[in-house]
Structure 1
Amino acid sequence: MKELMDFNFWEMILRTTLAFAALLILARILGKKQLSQLTFFHYITGITFGSIAAEMAGQTDVPFMDALIALVWWAMLTLMLSYISLKSSKFRVIIDDEPSIVIRNGVILDKSLKKARLHMDDVMMMLREQSIFSIQDVHYAVLETNGELSVMKKAAQQEPTKTDVNAPITEPIYMPSEIISDGKLVVKNMRELKLTEEWVMKKLKKKQINSIDEVFYAQIQTDGSLFVDKKSKE
C-alpha cells in the first residue's frame, strides 16, 4: 500500500511538472493574443487548453501521451485558425465576429442591440463604468468583439487638453475607422463612410505613397485626415 502511494505521488509530481512545462511552451508559441483572451474564440480556446492540461496533470487513468497529443493538436488548430484569420478578413469575422455600433450620433440603434442580444440596462452599466451617465453625452458607442464598450463622447463632453483651451467646439466629421488593413482596402468601412478609392489614393499621394500595397494600416480621423502606417521594409 505504501509503495502504491509513493508511486502515485511521484507519478503525479512528474505528470504535473511535464504538463506545466508543455502548457508554458505552447502558451508562449500561441502568443500574447491567446493569453489575453481578447475575443470569445480565444476565451473558449484558453478554457479548453487549460482543461486538457489539468486532465493531463491530475488524471492518472488518462494516458499522459494521449493528453499531450490532444494539447499539442489543440494548439496547432488554434495557430492554424489564427493564421487564416490573419490573412482573410472574411474568415476573421466568422471566428472573432466584428464590432457593432450601438449608438451613432447620440441615437440608440435598436437593431444592433437586438443582434448583439444586449439590453439597455447592460449598455447603461457599461457607460457608467466609464463615468458616463447620460446617453446625450455619447457621440458613438461600439460593442467590441471582446464584449467591451468603446465610447466616443460628444465634443462638448470630452476632457480638454492643453491645445483645446479656448478652442471652438466642433463635432467630428467621421468616426475613426480603418480604411486599409495589411495592404487591402476595407470596403465595408469605406462604403459606410461614403469614401472612394480615388479619395484614398489622393490622400496617400500627399504622403508620397503611390500604392495601397505599401500601407500596413490606415485610419481616417475625425477631421477627415488619414493616419497611415507603412509596411516594414525588413
Structure 2
Amino acid sequence: MYYDIFPRTLLAFFVLLILTRLLGKKQLSHLTFFNYITGITFGNIAASLASDKDIKTIEGLSSLILWTGLTIFVEFISLKSGIIRRVLNGEPTVVIKKGKIQQKVMSEMRLSLDGLLTMLRNSNVFSIKDVDYAVIETNGQISVSKKQEKQTVTRQDMNIPSATRFLIPTEIIVDGKILKRNLLELNISYQWVYQELRKVGINSVSEVLYAELESDGQLFIDKYENS
C-alpha cells in the first residue's frame, strides 16, 4: 500500500509544481472568482491522483494537464474579449457612491450592512461617514476612497520636499552569503559591501545573517546572534 502511495504522491507533487508555474502568479493570487474555483479543483485532482488508488496514474495526469490547458485557453480568450472577461470574472461593484450606501446593489449582492462594515474595518475604515466611494472588486475584496477631508495628509500637501529614492530595498546578504545577482543589477561591487561591513566592525560576510540595501543607499545589517 505505502509503496504505491509514495511514488504517486511524489509524481503528483512535481507535476502540480510544474503546472502551477505554467498557470502563473495570477492563478496563485486568486485575483478572480474563476481563479479561485480553478485553484480548488486543481488541488482536488492532484490530491486524488496522490491518494486514490482507484484512479489510474495516467488518468490523473491527463486530468491535470487538460485542466491546465483549459484554464490557460480560457484566460487567453478572456484577454482578447471584454465580453468573455466580464462573463468569467464579473465586474467591480460600487456599494457606496458619493457617501451613500447603494441599498439596491447590496441587496442584489446579498451583502448585509454588517458584512459591509466588516470589510471596511478590514481596510482600516471604521466609519461609513468617512467613505466617498467603496467598490467590491472581482476577487471579493473592497477598495475604499475616503472623502477628501478624511484622507491622509501627504508630504506634497504640506509642501515638504521628499528625498530622492535610491531604489527599492534589495537583499544583499542572506545566510552569510552575498547575492551576486543583486550586486550586478545594482551595479555594486564586493569592495563596497566589505567596506560597509567594516564600518560596523564586521570582518567576514559569514557573520551576517541578513543585509539589505535600503532606498536611501544605506546598508541595513542583521548579524548572527553568536556574532
Give the TM-score range, shorter chain: 0.5 to 0.7
Q: Please show how residues 1-234 of structure 1 align to structure 2 within 5 Å.
A: 8-165=1-158
The one-letter code sitting in structure 2 at the alignment partner of 1:38 is: L
Superposition CA RMSD, Å: 1.4
List per-residue Cα deviations over 1:200-231 (Å, max 9, x = no partner).
Answer: xxxxxxxxxxxxxxxxxxxxxxxxxxxxxxxx
List per-residue Cα deviations over 1:71-117 (Å, max 9, x = no partner).
Answer: 11011111111001111111011001010011111011112112221
State the TM-score, normalizing by the size of structure 2.
0.68
Give the match's secondary structure for 2:156: helix
2:47 and 2:118 mapped to 1: Cα distance?
A: 35
List per-residue Cα deviations over 1:167-220 (Å, max 9, x = no partner).
Answer: xxxxxxxxxxxxxxxxxxxxxxxxxxxxxxxxxxxxxxxxxxxxxxxxxxxxxx
Q: Which stretches in structure 2 are left out of the alignment for 5+ residues? A: 160-227
Give the match's secondary structure for 1:145: coil
Matched pairs, number? 160
Deviation at 1:46, TM superposition (A): 0.5
Deviation at 1:10, TM superposition (A): 2.1
Deviation at 1:70, TM superposition (A): 0.8
- Alignment partner, residue 209 of structure 2: none
2:129 and 2:43 mapped to 1: Cα distance?
A: 43
2:61 and 2:124 mapped to 1: Cα distance?
A: 47
1:62 and 1:68 mapped to 2: Cα distance?
A: 10
2:45 and 2:96 mapped to 1: Cα distance?
A: 40
The one-letter code sitting in structure 2 at the alignment partner of 1:145 is: T
Q: Which stretches in structure 1 are left out of the alignment for 5+ residues? A: 1-7, 167-234
Percent identity (aligned): 49
The question of whether the paired residues in 1 share the 8 Å contact of 2:93 and 2:136 is answered with yes
2:151 and 2:8 mapped to 1: Cα distance?
A: 55
The one-letter code sitting in structure 2 at the alignment partner of 1:83 is: F
The question of whether the paired residues in 1 share the 8 Å contact of 2:123 and 2:142 is answered with no
2:121 and 2:49 mapped to 1: Cα distance?
A: 43
Give the match's secondary structure for 1:55: helix
State which structure, 1 or 2, has the greater radius of gyration over its C-alpha atoms: 2
The one-letter code sitting in structure 2 at the alignment partner of 1:154 is: K
- Alignment partner, residue 224 of structure 2: none
The one-letter code sitting in structure 1 at the alignment partner of 2:28 is: L
Deviation at 1:130, TM superposition (A): 2.1
Q: Stretches of 4+ moved more than 3 A in 1?
A: none
Deviation at 1:133, TM superposition (A): 2.0
The one-letter code sitting in structure 2 at the alignment partner of 1:61 is: D
